[in-house]
Amino acid sequence: MWSAVVLLLLSADLGPVLRQDGFQMKPPATFRMARMDLFHGTQVGTIAVNASSTRYLSAALVDGEGEDAASLLISVVESTFSLGPSSRDELSTASVRHLRDELGQSFQLERAEVTKGRVQVIGSVRQGSQLRRILVSAWPGDSRHVVAICSVPSGRWDSLAPVLSDSFDSLRVEQASSPRPSQRLLWAFAALVAALMLISIGLWRRRQVARSAG
């Protein structure tokens, strides 16, 4: 009974399932989709271990307006990413590079770890007089993977961090599978090949007969 109550309380903190670009997750219930046109032509929120990898922002969510709002940006990177100590260090470096070189923010790294099937980097940036906590998470994937970056005012971090953790736990990446032809199509293809072979043999015999008659 208590487990059901806990699950109910957790689900109340999360919103409906967001399905985008081959992944799905439940964002925090207070977050809403932002206008994507605000990010067109920028690399905001798109963190890649290899800076030359193709990457694009898939979803942008915010939980309000003004300085006290938190933001959650989710991007897709067209490269392979796996779990491990090397990936942890690589994501840390990529996060520092993205925030410093592409966003002009000095990122203070606090810790990086592999946890719950993802690599996670936590740190902070200072925007004017406001300190904001930064959470970056990357999920493994073959040839493409998902990266999320969340920015939260430091005063709201303790209350929002557990909800973000539950939200990230809900993320699932659809594995791309190569389409397999149905058995009917295979039989049809085999019949076509056989028919073409019979036609070719027939034409060859006619030419042989014509040459013999000549």
| Domain count across the chain | 2
Low-confidence ranges of the chain (pLDDT < 70): 1-11, 40-42, 175-214
Q: What's the pLDDT score for residue 36? A: 81
Statement to judge: residues 65 and 162 lie in one domain: yes
- The one-letter code for the residue type at 126 is R
Same domain, 103 and 163: yes
Contacts of 109 (CB under 8 A, 6+ apart): 92, 95, 96, 121, 123
Domain range enclosing 194: 185-214
Give the DSSP H or E segment for 168.
Answer: helix 157-169
Where residue 166 sits, what CATH number does that domain have? 3.40.1000.10
How confident is the model at residue 127, as a pLDDT?
A: 87
| Per-residue pLDDT, 5 | 41
- Residue 180 is predicted with a pLDDT of 47
Same domain flag for 210 and 146:
no
What is the Rg, in whole angstroms, of the alpha carbon atoms belonging to the chain?
A: 26
d(CA 96, CA 81) in angstroms, rounded, equals 18
d(CA 168, CA 10): 13
Task: Find the helix or strand (DSSP H, E) in which 108 lies.
Answer: strand 108-115
Question: Cα separation of 57 and 43, whole Å?
Answer: 8
Beta carbons within 8 Å of 151's beta carbon, 6+ residues apart: 70, 71, 125, 132, 133, 134
Cα dihedral 23, 24, 28, 33 sign: positive
- The H-or-E segment that residue 140 falls in is none
Is 206 domain-assigned? yes
Residue 189 and residue 147 share a domain: no
Q: How confident is the model at residue 3, as a pLDDT?
A: 42
Q: How far is CA 26 from CA 73, 140, 170, 171, 178, in A?
A: 13, 18, 6, 7, 27
For residues 190 and 141, state if they share a domain.
no
Residue 159: its pLDDT value, please? 95
Please indicate, yes or no, whether residues 146 and 201 belong to a single structural domain of this protein: no
Residue 159 shares a structural domain with residue 193: no
Q: What is the pLDDT of residues 12-68, one digit of tens each?
A: 799 999 999 999 999 999 999 988 877 766 678 899 999 889 999 999 999 998 889
Let me know whether 102 and 189 are in one domain. no
Residues 122 and 168 in one domain: yes
> In the prediction, which pLDDT does 84 show?
87
- 65 & 123 share domain: yes
158 and 196, same structural domain? no
- Domain shared by 189 and 158, yes or no: no
Domain presence at residue 36: yes
